[in-house]
Chains A and B, each alone.
Chain A
Amino acid sequence: MNSADVIPLPIAVLICGCLLAGAFFALAGAVGLVRLKSFYQRVHAPTLGSSLGMGLILVSSILYFSLARGHPVLHEILIAVFLTLTTPISLMLIVRAALARDRFEGNPDVPPVETLD
């Protein structure tokens, strides 16, 4: 696609910056998922990639394809909508399974049942 030639240099730098920053957030989240100590800490890490990481990559994609094709390309917004709506579902399933198991095993690190104290 040689239509990328029409993109002015400052915008191209912005697009690359967003893309690399987004990829960095996703990478940091993935490394955190592997390196962190406890399960409940580890599930925090990938949300870096599914929030700001995703946002930055989508912004660079919208900018690039809108400029390269000469008309607004916005279907990336759907990715953001679906990812934001579906992440809590899978995350809650995993986390609640872990919580149920830890409570069953009597793990002292998790609160038994929600109470106000």
Chain B
Amino acid sequence: MRRWLPYPAMSLFILATWLVLNQSLAPGHLLLGVILGLVLGAAFGRLQPPPLRIRDRRRLLRLGAVVVADVIRSNLALLRILVAGRARAVRSGFVTIPLQLTDPYGLAVLACIITATPGTIWMSYRAREGLLLIHVFDLVDEGEWVRTITERYETPLREIFE
């Protein structure tokens, strides 16, 4: 069992992706999806991914809702700046944020959150010092951004993944 199916969740995700892509539950597609799930799941195992454990699923859902709201809000904020032609008046700049989060999955999710939110971009991360550099489009107060990232995203991510 472990030999054929080292990552059941990944294999299941590949099977589901295949079926949704083909929009069919026909036996042929099911068979192909199962084969793809097994082969690609085993291939994924060869990458030796670090173990993933999600400790708090409800917290993850809550964080997802927060992120969706933040993405919509920052979309509107950036759109307003661009449409009003205020882009020249705003100050953009870099902010260095000390992170305590070290879990690779947590960092990956944080990168997706920061990138998906217009107005902030993940620039670089120094793992040894735990320092993250982001670029903020409409930068008013550096300290507030440090607080926002740590309290809104990092703390829940640490509770979920560490």
Which residues of chain B are within 8 angstroms of A50 by Cβ–Cβ distance?
A: 116
Pick the residue among A51, A99, A111, A117 that contacts B116 (CB under 8 A): A51
Contacts of B92 in A (CB 8 A): 38, 40-41, 44
- Nearest to A98 among chain B residues (CB) is B123
**Distance of A88 Cα from B82 Cα, bound (Å):** 22
Q: Which of B21, B79, B96, B115 has the most CB of A within 10 A?
A: B115
Name A's interface SS. helix
Q: Tell me the bound Cα distance from A114 to B95 in angstroms.
A: 9
Per-position binary interface string of chain B over residues 79-102, scored 1 when its CB falls under 8 Å from any chain A CB and 0 otherwise:
100110001100010101010000
Cα–Cα, bound, A77→B78 (Å): 25
Inter-chain pairs besides A35-B87, A48-B78, 20 sampled, C-beta below 8 Å? A25-B79, A41-B87, A41-B92, A41-B137, A44-B92, A47-B115, A51-B116, A52-B72, A52-B118, A53-B75, A73-B23, A78-B17, A87-B115, A88-B112, A92-B115, A92-B122, A111-B133, A114-B131, A114-B132, A115-B131
Binding site for A on B (CB under 8 A): 17, 20-21, 23, 71-72, 75, 78-79, 82-83, 87-88, 92, 94, 96, 98, 111-112, 114-119, 121-124, 126, 129, 131-133, 135, 137
Q: When the two chains form their complex, are residues B82 and A32 in contact, meaning their CB atoms are under 8 A apart?
A: yes
A69-91: CB near B (< 8 Å → 1, else 0) gives: 00001110110000011011001
- The interface residues of chain B, by DSSP majority, are classed as mixed
Residues of A in contact with B (beta carbons under 8 Å apart): 25, 28, 31-32, 35-38, 40-41, 43-45, 47-48, 50-53, 73-75, 77-78, 84-85, 87-88, 91-92, 95-96, 99, 110-111, 114-117
Contacts of A43 in B (CB 8 A): 121, 135
Whether A95 touches B111, Cβ cut-off 8 Å, given contacts A52-B72, A78-B20, A111-B133, is no
Give the residue of B72, B83, B96, B122 whose beta carbon is less than 8 angstroms from that of A115.
B96
Question: Whole-angstrom distance between the alpha carbons of A59 and B54 in the complex?
Answer: 29
Q: Which residue of A lies closest to B71 (CB)?
A: A51
Which of B17, B75, B124 makes the CB contact (< 8 A) with A48?
B75
11 inter-chain pairs at a CB distance below 8 angstroms, sorted by A residue, are A25-B79, A32-B87, A35-B87, A37-B88, A45-B118, A51-B116, A51-B117, A88-B115, A95-B121, A95-B135, A114-B131
Q: In chain B, what residue has the closest Cβ to A91?
A: B115
Most chain B CB within a 10 A radius of its CB, from A73, A74, A84: A84
